[in-house]
Amino acid sequence: MSINLQTPIDYLKGVGSNRADLLRKELGIHTYQDLINLFPNRYIDRTQYYKINQLQRNNAEVQIIGKLTSFKEISQKRGKRLVANFMDETGAMELVWFRGQKWIKESLKLNKPYVIFGKTNWFNGKFSMPHPEVEALEAHEKNLRSAMQPVYPSTEKLSNKGISNRVISKIVQQLFIESNGKFTETLSNNLIDELNLISKREALFNIHFPKSQALLARAQFRLKFEELFYIQLQLIIKNQVHKSKIKGFPFEKVGHYFNTFFKEHLPFELTHAQKRVLKEIRADLGSNAQMNRLLQGDVGSGKTIVAFMSMLIAIDNGFQACLMAPTEILSVQHYNGLNLLCKPLNISIKILTGSTKTSTRKKIHESLENGELHILIGTHALLEDKVKFKNLGLAIIDEQHRFGVEQRSKLWRKNTSPPHVLVMTATPIPRTLAMSVYGDLDVSVIDELPPGRKAIKTVHRYDKNRLNVFKFIRDEIAKGRQVYIVYPLIQESESMDYKDLMDGYESIVRDFPPPDYQISIVHGKMKPADKEYEMQRFIKGETQIMVATTVIEVGVNVPNASVMIIESAERFGLSQLHQLRGRVGRGAEQSYCILMTSHKLSNDSKTRLETMVKSNDGFEIAEVDLRLRGPGDLMGTQQSGVLNLKIADIIKDNDILHSARYYAKKTLQNDPKLLLTENQAIINTYKELVRYKNIWNYIS
């Protein structure tokens, strides 16, 4: 019989309650299952035994069989060191200890065969090994030990409490002994044969105690494939269930509003990409299933007009639509833009945010419930219980990574039947990540910019070039242009950020004195009304320079602003830099982005700045960002737990990810409910994973 892997770790021989507590707190190991999934970070190859005359001066870790022939203590500046002479049939070397001498002398016997392991040094014409691991040859041969030794993840606390790598390795050995190596197979024989995989049992044994480099590689492949396979399986099943269970409102017609707008009021010709995406959305809305689509498009690619035209289809079919944005500034901007488009069509549109007056709120609530209001734009305020729609048919969420799962589901519950959902983002998500994180959403991409847009020129300048940069700003302002100067905002040190911003503001006022120059300032500590006032002054062209923190990152649209200066650019992530740069280049004029940094830059910072200077392509930038930061960070905090992978790495194992998705799709095509006998192992594992929440549930 196979062991129950959900058994608490306390029950494993050699663990006990104190160690169990530490393992839970430090490494998140609660059960036997967690321990078996604590995969080593790296391995020490102990497959080879060297002779002393084969040693190279390369500082490598080696193991040697030989005998200790003598000890001597040598005085040095501080205390003594213990030196032993160690010989095999080909030569001699020294073993050196700087501490623990008494214990070492007592426990090691002369002229008895030992295996030593450690790094060698070459000194005074002789090899030596400081603080070697020493084990009697007899014990060495008896141990359940593979040739290659695992090195497990650890923390300082564990090492201090005596839970060394050796201890973790021992308790993993104990788990194998107790389970007798019987682990339930988790993949079908078809998959195992087709991909030539080793069994689950062999894979687990060889990931912890690999018998050879080749078996280790096969174990890693098998476990990475399995991990990614079940994630893809869950995403695809979720999408299928969604489409079969969650009936959407079929929007059968494209009617008066859509056609009038398209023929008479469309402000510009749609790009091919916009037309393609609209077609995909129309097909979803017309089908019987609820739309669940992610719309990706770089800054300025024209997502909002596509969103608006989707709303018109909802209104044509007698439904209401809403658009939820993460910040008040962005909501106001969406409202202003869409209000202009609604006017000629006589469509009723309102905005609801935290600062909407109570009397206005009441009116909005009433007209929403009786169906007079067609479109509602707003922030989190849309999620309040008081906000009730008569019949919400389409919900659009902008910059969705800023909303947690809970918040989104609140929106769905406002109807008897869930509305169609369109999620928009200007943060390009690399295909790799989209496939693993948004695998249950259908993805549309607007991958071309409207005609007439000039590419933004990006340069990197050091602080010492500041005077030249200021001269450039003066020249641009003289041509009638406007300028953004952005300071980083790192939440933890708000007071410090505020000081940086204020210092910066003061030095800019000195260099650009009134009345020749007018400057706006916007930051997180201001009241919404004050922020709005300053924004409006800039939008109307009353001020030429806007000094701000990253509040302006998303969605501020001032076509006349042509210069974006990012201070301490090394403190920003790539996607943030790219978003900020997208605030300029909105008009027909040539726009510029200047990245200011100090001289001290880490390698990652250099890579980020070089990428920005070289590329304007959001997807290319997102791929670099993913490589630098890893998937967790990229998703933002609410979803940072999203890809808590045990062994796979979606960047390095991109090929395995594609293969896992292909086979998950193929398996479900042949057996949608996984009822065939051959898929018994898959359905059992899947149910177990879902039951113990070992496949994470995120999105939608």
Q: Which of 519, 521, 444 is nearest to 477 (CA)?
A: 519
What pLDDT, on the 0 to 100 scale, is given for residue 262?
95
Residue 132 CA to residue 162 CA, distance in Å, equals 18
Q: Is residue 72, in this structure, part of any structural domain at all?
A: yes
Which residue ranges of the chain lie beneath pLDDT 70?
Answer: 1-2, 59, 144-147, 400-408, 431-433, 435-440, 490-497, 551-556, 630-644, 692-700
Domain that holds residue 358: 256-286+302-425
Q: Are residues 474 and 588 in the same domain?
A: yes
Q: Is residue 19, in this structure, part of any structural domain at all?
A: no
Instruction: Determine how many CB atoms are found less than 10 A away from the CB of residue 163.
Output: 22
H/E stretch holding 61: strand 61-75
Q: Are residues 405 and 468 in the same domain?
A: no
Whether the ω angle into residue 631 lies within 30 degrees of 0, i.e. cis, is no
Q: Is residue 114, in this structure, part of any structural domain at all?
A: yes
H/E stretch holding 72: strand 61-75
H-helix segments, 28-123: 32-36, 101-107
Residue 688 CA to residue 117 CA, distance in Å, equals 42
Q: Is the C-alpha dihedral spanning 529, 535, 541, 543 positive or negative?
A: positive
Residue 658 CA to residue 651 CA, distance in Å, equals 11
Residue 26 CA to residue 639 CA, distance in Å, equals 22
Q: Between the CA of residue 188 and those of 198, 226, 227, 311, 684, what are the distances in Å?
A: 12, 11, 14, 45, 11
Q: Are residues 486 and 605 in the same domain?
A: yes
Residue 439 CA to residue 223 CA, distance in Å, equals 20
Q: Are residues 491 and 577 in the same domain?
A: yes
Q: Which of 655, 634, 122, 173 is nearest to 427 (CA)?
A: 634
Rounded (5°) CA angle 694-696-699: 165
List the beta bridge partners of residue 320: 392
Q: Is residue 88, in this structure, part of any structural domain at all?
A: yes
Per-residue buried b or exposed e for 451-467, using 16+ beta carbons within 10 Å of the residue's own CB: eeeeebebebbeeeeee
How far does CA 57 lie from the centroid of its chain? 42
Half-sphere exposure of 248 (CA within 13 A, CB side): 29
End position of a domain, from candidates 126, 144, 162? 144
Read off the CATH number of the domain in which 88 is found. Answer: 2.40.50.140
**68: amino acid identity, one letter:** L
Beta strands in 160-305 (DSSP E): 292-297
Q: Are residues 400 and 491 in the same domain?
A: no
Instruction: Determine how many CB atoms are found less than 10 A away from the CB of residue 414.
Output: 18
Q: Are residues 463 and 413 in the same domain?
A: no
160 contacts: CB under 8 Å, gap ≥ 6: none
Q: Is residue 646, in this structure, part of any structural domain at all?
A: no
Q: Which of 150, 119, 117 is nearest to 134 (CA)?
A: 117
Total structural domains in the chain?
3
Residue 219 CA to residue 210 CA, distance in Å, equals 8
Residue 576 CA to residue 582 CA, distance in Å, equals 10
Per-residue buried b or exposed e for 89-110, using 16+ beta carbons within 10 Å of the residue's own CB: eeeebbbbbeeebeebeeeeee
Let me know: does 155 contact 38? Beta carbons within 8 Å: no
Strand order in the sheet with 126-130: 121-123, 126-130, 91-97, 80-88, 61-75, 113-119, 133-136
List the beta bridge partners of residue 460: 595
The pair of structure tokens assigned to 690 is: 């879902």
Q: Is residue 185, in this structure, part of any structural domain at all?
A: no
Let me know: does 55 contact 78? Beta carbons within 8 Å: no
Per-residue buried b or exposed e for 568-588, using 16+ beta carbons within 10 Å of the residue's own CB: bbbbbebbbbbbbbbbbbbbe
Q: Are residues 461 and 353 in the same domain?
A: no
Does the predicted TM-score (pTM) go above 0.95?
A: no
End position of a domain, from candidates 127, 144, 161? 144
Read off the CATH number of the domain in which 594 is found. Answer: 3.40.50.300
List the beta bridge partners of residue 73: 82
Q: Is residue 56, in this structure, part of any structural domain at all?
A: yes
Q: Are residues 480 and 548 in the same domain?
A: yes
* Residue in the block written with tokens 């978003």: 579
Let me know: does 426 contact 560? Beta carbons within 8 Å: no
How far does CA 331 lie from the centroid of its chain? 26
Residue 256 CA to residue 453 CA, distance in Å, equals 32
Instruction: Determine how many CB atoms are found less than 10 A away from the CB of residue 291.
Output: 26
The pair of structure tokens assigned to 102 is: 């008494």
Which DSSP symbol is given to 550?
Answer: G
3-state secondary structure 497-517: HHHHHHHHHHHHHHHCCCCCC
Residue 670 CA to residue 199 CA, distance in Å, equals 23
Q: Between the CA of residue 254 and those of 260, 264, 272, 450, 631, what are the distances in Å?
A: 11, 15, 20, 25, 40
Q: Which of 203, 200, 179 is nearest to 682 (CA)?
A: 200
Q: Are residues 519 and 589 in the same domain?
A: yes
Q: Are residues 467 and 418 in the same domain?
A: no
What pLDDT, on the 0 to 100 scale, is given for residue 241?
78
Strand-strand pairing, 592-597 and 561-566: parallel
3-state SS, residue 362: helix
What pLDDT, on the 0 to 100 scale, is given for residue 636?
40
Q: Are residues 414 and 488 in the same domain?
A: no
What pLDDT, on the 0 to 100 scale, is given for residue 405?
56
3-state SS, residue 395: strand
List the beta bridge partners of residue 430: none
Contacts by residues 281-287 (CB-CB < 8 Å, ≥ 24 positions apart): 281/306, 281/310, 281/313, 281/422, 281/444, 282/254, 282/313, 284/248, 284/420, 284/442, 285/248, 285/250, 285/251, 285/310, 285/313, 285/314, 285/394, 285/420, 286/250, 286/251, 286/252, 287/248, 287/250
Q: Is residue 461, in this structure, part of any structural domain at all?
A: yes
End position of a domain, from candidates 615, 645, 679? 615
Q: Which of 121, 110, 114 is nearest to 72 (CA)?
A: 110
H-helix segments, 517-634: 528-539, 574-581, 603-614, 618-634
The pair of structure tokens assigned to 360 is: 């206005």
Q: Are residues 417 and 483 in the same domain?
A: no
Q: Between the CA of residue 596 and those of 56, 351, 419, 498, 531, what are the distances in Å?
A: 48, 37, 45, 18, 25
Q: Which of 618, 622, 613, 689 is nearest to 651 (CA)?
A: 622
